[in-house]
Amino acid sequence: MPNDRSHLILSGYQLGTIDAMSGLGWDGAIQLALQLVLSKALVNSPHGQSETFWRTIIANRRPDTTPADPVANAERSGFDLWWQGVNELVNSQQVNHGGNEFERWWRAVCTLTTAADKIKEASEYNRAFSQHGAGRVLFTTDSGFVGLSRTTINVGDQVCLLAGGQTPFVLRSLRDKYQLVSEAYVHGIMDGKCWADLEESKTERLTFVLV
């Protein structure tokens, strides 16, 4: 094993290899992202593909960064109206007409309902998306995971859990070493629980040399 101080050597587990990815723009890319999730046989997604999608594109977080509720009736309801508003923008091509994108989305939502509580839920979901998902990409892995990460990731990168890490990471293979590309949200990977599950299942623990 190299002892060069420029190398960081960590143990961990490989969750899978990125096999597809999609942007989340309101220009139609986000609809393709949903279709990507719907086309996959998923793991760690007991509530189905639609819930996996809406939780993933906000990294399962509220606007204040606290975790979304496991039941999440308000978040689910907020997503439903938010999604209808996004579709209104895309289908009418308003997203390309200049001006403030949020204002156009807001007008679209207000044409769909006048219920103040529903509009508030959709606005809260939009805040969560703007904070955690906008400007990022959704990805899937060959092992059935769905995640969210930076635009610097590529198909073929590996999604891993590393010892001491608070989140999964995306690594890029450089022959016998790896480059750290980004942190990632991976749906169904709970804090610490997945690591314990992998240890119990006797999954092979790997050594990663980061440069």
Each residue of 67-118: pLDDT tens digit?
998 888 889 999 999 999 999 887 776 555 555 788 889 999 999 999 999 9
Asked whether residue 123 is assigned to any structural domain, the reply reads no
Domains in the chain, number: 1
Share of the chain above pLDDT 70, in %: 93
Asked whether residue 179 is assigned to any structural domain, the reply reads yes
pLDDT of residue 96: 55
Share of the chain above pLDDT 90, in %: 69
Residue 91: partners with Cβ closer than 8 Å, 6 or more residues away: none
Asked whether residue 99 is assigned to any structural domain, the reply reads no
Distance of alpha carbon 73 from alpha carbon 52, whole angstroms: 14
Parallel, antiparallel, or unpaired: how do β-strands 158-162 and 146-149 relate?
unpaired
pLDDT in tens, 141-160: 999 999 999 999 999 999 99
pLDDT in tens, 194-206: 888 888 888 889 9
pLDDT of residue 169: 97
Residue appearing with tokens 């996004």: 86
pLDDT of residue 93: 63
pLDDT of residue 133: 97
Residue 158: partners with Cβ closer than 8 Å, 6 or more residues away: 14, 16, 17, 18, 170, 171, 172, 173, 178
Residue 89: partners with Cβ closer than 8 Å, 6 or more residues away: 26, 95, 101, 104, 105, 108
pLDDT of residue 202: 81
Predicted model pTM: 0.91
* Token output for 2: 């190299």
Show the domain range for 4: 1-25+134-211
Asked whether residue 57 is assigned to any structural domain, the reply reads no
Asked whether residue 138 is assigned to any structural domain, the reply reads yes
Mean of all residue pLDDT scores within the chain: 90
Asked if residue 1 has pLDDT above 70, the reply is no
Asked whether residue 199 is assigned to any structural domain, the reply reads yes
